[in-house]
Amino acid sequence: MKSVLSRPVAVMICLTAMAFLLSAMPTWAITITNVTTDTVIFSTDFESETEVSSLPYADPSVDADPTNPGGVGTWIVNEGDGQATHVQVTNSLTSPDPGPFQGDNYVRVMRTSYYTHALAMTSAPQTNAGDVIQMEEMVFISSGEQAGSPVAAMGIVSESKGLLSHLLLDQSGVVFNSVSGSGNALIPELVFFPNAWNKLEQTYVVGADTYDATLNGITVTGLALYDTANVGSVGGVRLTGNGSQSTYYDACIPGVDIQVIPGDANGDQTVDDVDAAILAANWQGTGKRWKDGDFNLDGNVDDMDATLLATNWQADTPAASVPEPSTFVLAMAGLMALAATTRRKRS
Ligand SMILES: [Ca+2]
Ligand SMILES: [Ca+2]
Ligand SMILES: [Ca+2]
Ligand SMILES: [Ca+2]
């Protein structure tokens, strides 16, 4: 590490970081935990990496593969077409890079060939049938991604690196479960926010032929595995990017939860004018998604969605108190004005 800091400052930062890491370790992410044996079998937040790109994607000056110094488990990086820029640890704050979620460093993965990915391999294969394996990570996909091209953001792999689960996140804000031979099935309950950090978790019981997925606090159980031929061992997690820009991954911050709030179209955890404008712009639209203002996931943006937005107006957590009646009326009035403007524009 370059010593650009004065010694007292550096010592203070180190002590603070150590205290934080110690308190954070049980819930570090990208984390894979054997819940049954209470053992962290993979963890990284990319903060200890020595080779880090400070430039926006793609930075041709460094390879910057994750190596996980001091962490639990190992990385296997496959830059399928041989270009070292397709998996890089970075601390870039420059768009299109989103900036980190935890600490300074995070990783970006771009897939120009099917084979480009990074594997977070556990410290040991988990082979005890019935053991509960839990993983979590933060993922960011820019809304400028290639439309209609799903992103394999997280797949549990077996000891032999064969896919157990294959969860696909799409820049349009939808999630698919991929099953070998059967294609991709939409998971309508799950909400993915493009252009925002999302919290993704998966749980797999060793030997089972289904898994559970939790995205931004919403859980769907009993999802079919990608390939049941790989049942019997858990070796790690595969992270993949999209075909036109990078997909970004970082650790979860312990104690900070990203949760879906009805009315929060853009996933910034607050229901406000920005969300009302998104809803108004899509008013009376069909074939819509959460990111368009369809908060009850029926495909239409209408009164029911406006009511959900108004009910959660200025909510910054799902448990926030109900707004004062005056606030509620103001919100509804503003919303209806926006909606009326949109209607007039269209007629
Ligand atoms: Ca690289
Ligand atoms: Ca980090
Ligand atoms: Ca919002
Ligand atoms: Ca709706």
Domains and their CATH numbers in the chain: 24-250 (2.60.120.200), 273-346 (no CATH)
Spatial neighbors of 28 by CB under 8 A, at least 6 apart, are 40, 43, 44, 45, 251, 254
* Cα 165 from Cα 203, distance rounded (Å): 10
Query: Which-ligand-closest: CA of 251?
Result: 2
* Cα 282 from Cα 296, distance rounded (Å): 14
| pLDDT level of residue 185 (50, 70, 90 thresholds) | very high
Does the pLDDT at position 170 exceed 70? Answer: yes
Under a CB-based contact definition with an 8 Å cutoff, are residues 179 and 226 in contact? yes
Does the pLDDT at position 61 exceed 60? Answer: yes
DSSP assigned state of 29: S
pLDDT digits (tens, 9 = 90+) for 116-138: 899 999 999 999 999 999 999 99
pLDDT of residue 322: 43
Distance from residue 202's CA to the centre of ligand 1 (Å): 26
Query: Which-ligand-closest: CA of 296?
Result: 4
CB atoms within 10 A of CB 324: 9
Query: Which-ligand-closest: CA of 316?
Result: 3
Distance from residue 56's CA to the centre of ligand 2 (Å): 16
pTM value? 0.83
pLDDT of residue 29: 47
Distance from residue 57's CA to the centre of ligand 1 (Å): 11
Query: Which-ligand-closest: CA of 262?
Result: 3
Average pLDDT over residues 176-202: 94
* Cα 347 from Cα 324, distance rounded (Å): 34
pLDDT digits (tens, 9 = 90+) for 62-121: 999 999 998 999 999 999 878 899 999 999 999 889 999 999 999 999 887 667 899 999
Under a CB-based contact definition with an 8 Å cutoff, are residues 155 and 164 in contact? yes
